[in-house]
Chain A
Amino acid sequence: MQQPARLVRGMCFGIALTLGLGLGAAAQVHAFEEIEAKIDYRQGAMRAIGGNMASLAAVIVDGVEDYRDNLALHARFIVDMSRDIPGLFPEGTDFGETNALPAIWENWERYEQLSEDTHQAAVRLLEAIEAGEANLGPRFREVGQSCTACHDDFRHRD
């Protein structure tokens, strides 16, 4: 009589173990996909900043006057998006198809400082646009230099 009971207990344990392992693996896959999605979001946001910079350059550097009224729109996006750049780089998002260097997490304070520099440079550009300043080149260049300063140490070229 004891043998069937032991068998049932064994089967129950096996099923529980299988389910547990399966759920754990599923959770891990989910976590992995979530991190990948975060990297996708970051890369999309960075490309969007780049796209807005390209549009700003066409007007400010190359003098396409037709779109001068859109300058504030582009600059405001960069101001808003750069408000918390470190927030786009949570721990654990340093693998796979990313050019983010480990140096970001190793020198977090410097990374935060450079991100803040970009935000402040974008704020100054937006202020200059809203004040109707004619020569926006130096302000635009400041934003660009802040991007380069960060990419110089924290982005892999691939």
Chain B
Amino acid sequence: MDVFVQQIIKLHRWAAPLLLCLLMLWTTAAADSAADDDLVKRGEYTLRAAGCVSCHTAKEDDAPFLAGGRAIESPFGTFYGANITPDPETGIGEWKVDDLERALRHGRGPDGRHYYPAFPYTSYTRMKREDVEALWAYLQTVEPVRRENRPHELVWYARFRPGLRFWNVLHLRPGEFQPRESETDEWNRGAYLANAMAHCAECHTPRTRTGGLDPNRLFAGQRLPDGEVVPNITPDRETGIGRWSGRHIMRYLDMGMDPEGDFAGSSMADVINDGTSFLTAEDRRAIAVYLMSLEPIRHDPGNRD
């Protein structure tokens, strides 16, 4: 009997630390899983904030999510959004997180190939590393779709990709967003969202002859090659949105309604439906605060003169 009791005591001595170890492992695994979930959620939010869906999902009603095919018209021809689902052959299934970062920050593929700036890496280069990692984590959870990328249809002189190296020298300034200490957290958040994520300036700024953003007319609107006018969103009262309040901007980003009760259409409707309507009210307010702080620029992009 004594031997039996001694064995039980021995076992008990081992069991307690063993149980403790198991408990610690389980707790760590649960915490990791929760952290992964949070990262994926943040990545999905980043995907929406960065406006990825509008270009990487085709326009048809039943188009597979993020499987590419959206046509993007430009003066150099038609670009087609790429498949960014984790399909290993036609998507980005073979990529690593660093490949995604290189694409976003430097406009280069895993094989070193230059991307065209229709993919707005000149803005995405300001994204924080943690948002890139979150976006990567989310993209791993997307349903892989086997769908070949459609080749771009460009004018002959735009087909020479190595030439983009020189374009980048002129127009790409790599580096994360640096907050301004003199501004509030809300302003910096708005600046980050508008510039690094939603890349508003890419459409709302006139281009120079070499295709870069005109630094003197940032956010002052432009007329696209198809005649569509992208409005001036600086706070100029006559040609911009100077008569809008923060409330109006927030509502526009939420549901696409302007102060006159008119609703957005065309590409901005996609930007809102696929992107900014998913933002929190705080983030939409931050964008409004930032836009209202811009220097008003008198420029009517609808004027053909």
Partners in one complex: yes
Q: Once the chains bind, are B269 and A152 in contact (CB under 8 Å)?
A: yes
B-side interface mostly: mixed
Q: How many residues of B contact A (CB 8 A)?
A: 23
Contacts of A51 in B (CB 8 A): 260-261
Interface membership of chain A positions 35-58, coded 1 if the CB is closer than 8 angstroms to chain B and 0 otherwise: 000000000000101111111010
Q: Once the chains bind, are B257 and A151 in contact (CB under 8 Å)?
A: no
A156 at the interface (CB under 8 A from B): yes
Q: Once the chains bind, are B272 and A148 in contact (CB under 8 Å)?
A: yes
Within 8 A of A (CB), among B238-275: 247, 251, 255-257, 259-266, 268-270, 272-273
Q: Once the chains bind, are B255 and A144 in contact (CB under 8 Å)?
A: yes
CA distance A149 to B251 in the complex (A): 17
B228 at the interface (CB under 8 A from A): yes
A106 at the interface (CB under 8 A from B): no
A158 at the interface (CB under 8 A from B): yes
Contacts of A154 in B (CB 8 A): 265
Q: Give chain A nearest CB distance to B272 CB in angstroms.
A: 7
CA distance A47 to B263 in the complex (A): 11
Q: Give chain A nearest CB distance to B151 CB in angstroms.
A: 25
A136 at the interface (CB under 8 A from B): no
Q: Give chain A nearest CB distance to B163 CB in angstroms.
A: 31
Q: Once the chains bind, are A47 and B260 in contact (CB under 8 Å)?
A: yes
Contacts of A61 in B (CB 8 A): 251
Q: Once the chains bind, are B260 and A148 in contact (CB under 8 Å)?
A: no
Q: Once the chains bind, are B259 and A54 in contact (CB under 8 Å)?
A: yes
Q: Once the chains bind, are B266 and A158 in contact (CB under 8 Å)?
A: no
Q: Which residue of B lies closest to A155 (CB)?
A: B265
Q: Once the chains bind, are A158 and B302 in contact (CB under 8 Å)?
A: yes
CA distance A154 to B176 in the complex (A): 39
CA distance A68 to B119 in the complex (A): 46
Contact of B256 (CB < 8 Å), options: A148, A153, A155: A148
Contact of B262 (CB < 8 Å), options: A50, A141, A145: A50
Contact of B261 (CB < 8 Å), options: A57, A141, A145, A155: A57
Q: Which residue of B lies closest to A143 (CB)?
A: B263
A6 at the interface (CB under 8 A from B): no
Q: Give chain A nearest CB distance to B276 CB in angstroms.
A: 13
Within 8 A of B (CB), among A109-158: 141, 144-145, 147-158
Q: Once the chains bind, are A156 and B260 in contact (CB under 8 Å)?
A: no
Q: Once the chains bind, are A157 and B273 in contact (CB under 8 Å)?
A: no
If the complex has contacts A57-B251, A62-B247, are A157 and B259 also in contact, measured as CB distance less than 8 A? no
Q: Once the chains bind, are B261 and A49 in contact (CB under 8 Å)?
A: yes
Contact of B260 (CB < 8 Å), options: A50, A150, A152, A157: A50
Contacts of A50 in B (CB 8 A): 260-263
Q: Once the chains bind, are B263 and A52 in contact (CB under 8 Å)?
A: no
Q: Once the chains bind, are A152 and B261 in contact (CB under 8 Å)?
A: no
Q: Once the chains bind, are B229 and A157 in contact (CB under 8 Å)?
A: yes
B215 at the interface (CB under 8 A from A): no
CA distance A62 to B265 in the complex (A): 23
Q: Give chain A nearest CB distance to B302 CB in angstroms.
A: 6
Q: Once the chains bind, are B255 and A151 in contact (CB under 8 Å)?
A: no
Within 8 A of A (CB), among B199-257: 227-230, 247, 251, 255-257
Q: Give chain B nearest CB distance to A132 CB in angstroms.
A: 23
Contacts of A145 in B (CB 8 A): 255, 273
Q: Once the chains bind, are B261 and A157 in contact (CB under 8 Å)?
A: no
Contacts of A62 in B (CB 8 A): 247
- For the complex of A and B, 4 pairs with smallest distance between CB atoms: A151-B265, A54-B261, A50-B261, A53-B261
Given A57-B261, A157-B228, A158-B227, 9 extra CB contacts under 8 A: A53-B263, A57-B251, A147-B263, A148-B264, A148-B265, A151-B265, A151-B266, A152-B265, A157-B230
Contact surface of B with A, Cβ cutoff 8 Å: 227-230, 247, 251, 255-257, 259-266, 268-270, 272-273, 302
The 10 sampled A-B contact pairs (Cβ below 8 Å) are A51-B261, A144-B255, A144-B257, A144-B263, A145-B255, A148-B263, A151-B263, A152-B269, A156-B227, A156-B228
